[in-house]
Amino acid sequence: MRTIGKNRGLARLADADGHFRMVALDQRPPLFDAIAKAKGITRDQVEYSDVTAAKRLLVENLAPHCSSMLFDPNFAVPAAIDLLPPRCGLIMTLEEHRVDETSGGRKSRAITDWSVEKIRAMGGDAVKVLAWYRPDADAAVNEHQKRFVREIGQDCARHDIPYVLELLVYPFLGSANHTADYVESPEKLPGLVIESVREFAKPEYGVDLLKLESPLAANNLPARDGGAEAKAAQTEFDAIGDICRARSIPWVLLSGGAAPEKFERVLDFAYAAGAGGFLAGRTIWLDAVLKNFPDRAAVSASLRKDGLGVLERLNELTKAKGTPWKARFPVFTDIKREGDFARAY
């Protein structure tokens, strides 16, 4: 009987047709870096007020044009919760952007003093968690990540709120291409992405919506033209679609900062495999910040022109090719008299 909240929450994330057209602005280090480059300073010189000012501009200009937005509690909420339109769904991130990096892999943790309970209490429509994961990481690290994801899933079930899980493969500490930030590797192994999805699509984790990276690097994707390369690429996306379909879990694509035309190509493959939308951030708004901050008027003008241009193309592609999500509410065959529902729930 505790699925009503999850269904209504997912409905808040999607548009009226069931497509997930979502904008992410919970980014912390990527936005810190963009502001630092724009101002010609180092990351540690970026001020809190700069971050909140940038996030307020993003919400002000983009929120009316998407079905939901992804906020973080420490910057986005105090910056712009007053600007979020009533019909725009609110996804709240739970994970700390600082991870415990070990030689065997990354360990995630929640933001200090933040919880599923607080997200539900503040009126959030969904909880989002990013879990860095590699099937080939140290066994103890992977057990930590699985427990982290599982326990949050239990909290989301307890509070009847949708659980959005983001999975990202990462380079090991000490590897030639190591970075603490998410930069898509051109040598990405599709199997690492697919096996990660296979693990966390299991019912024990309680995931309601998967936010996934492309199994193949966006820059290396061929045109979806029916050729041999395109067919080979499609099989990788289809593998993800098959897993999610078998578990009845809707899935969306993250942009990872890919160039807009490259991300549109990713979506074309993903939609053919059954994806239901996108949860994209930097692809839509990064250039506006990089090229114009701290000139707020110039940032807004760029967002209204170029940022919205990207977002609207993504919206149209999603409406045309994305797989719509439909709520599945419980059937109340056991409710026979007044009080039965209240007692059972």
DSSP assignment string, 201-249: TSGGG--SEEEE--SS-GGGPPP-SSSHHHHHHHHHHHHHHHHHHHHT-
Phi, psi of 71 (to 5 degrees): -105, 155
Name residues whose C-beta falls within 8 Å of residue 229's C-beta, 6 or more positions apart in sequence. Answer: 222
Strand partners, 163: 127
Angstrom distance (rounded) from CA 24 to CA 6? 20
Report pLDDT for 173: 84
With a CB cutoff of 8 Å and minimum separation 6, the contacts of 194 are: 215, 236, 239, 240, 243
Q: 50-55 long-range contacts, Cβ below 8 Å, gap at least 24? A: 50/293, 50/294, 51/75, 51/79, 52/78, 52/79, 52/80, 53/79, 53/294, 53/296, 54/289, 54/293, 54/299, 55/25, 55/31, 55/79, 55/80
What pLDDT is recorded for position 213?
97
- The reported pTM is 0.95
pLDDT for the residue 331: 87
337 burial (CB, 10 Å; 0-12 / 13-18 / 19+) is: exposed
Confirm if 207 and 237 have CB atoms less than 8 A apart. no
Strand, coil or helix: 179: coil
The SS3 assignment for 19 reads: coil
Ranges of the chain whose pLDDT falls below 50: none
Question: How much is the pLDDT for 344?
Answer: 85
pLDDT at 330: 87
Q: What is the pLDDT of residue 161?
A: 97
Say whether 123 sits in a helix, a strand or coil. Answer: coil
Rounded to whole angstroms, the Cα distance separating 127 from 125 reads 7
**Contacting residues for 153 by C-beta, under 8 A, at least 6 apart:** 163, 204, 205, 206, 207
CB atoms inside a 10 Å sphere around CB 322: 27
The 10s digit of each residue's pLDDT in 82-137 is 999 999 999 999 999 999 999 999 999 999 999 999 999 999 999 999 999 999 99
Is the torsion defined by CA of 272, 93, 309, 320 positive or negative? positive
Cα–Cα separations (whole angstroms), residue 173 to 102, 110, 125? 7, 21, 35
SS (H, E, C) 277-289: EEEECHHHHHHHH
| Pairing status of strand 251-254 against strand 20-24 | unpaired
Q: What is the pLDDT of residue 102?
A: 93
Instruction: Write down the pLDDT at residue 1.
Output: 55
| Domain architecture of the chain: domains with CATH | 2-342 (3.20.20.70)
The residue type found at 302 is: S
What per-residue confidence (pLDDT) applies to 182? 61
Q: What is the pLDDT of residue 72?
A: 98
State the pLDDT at residue 345: 84
The whole-number pLDDT of residue 184 equals 65
- Reduced to 3 states, what is the DSSP secondary structure of residue 135? coil
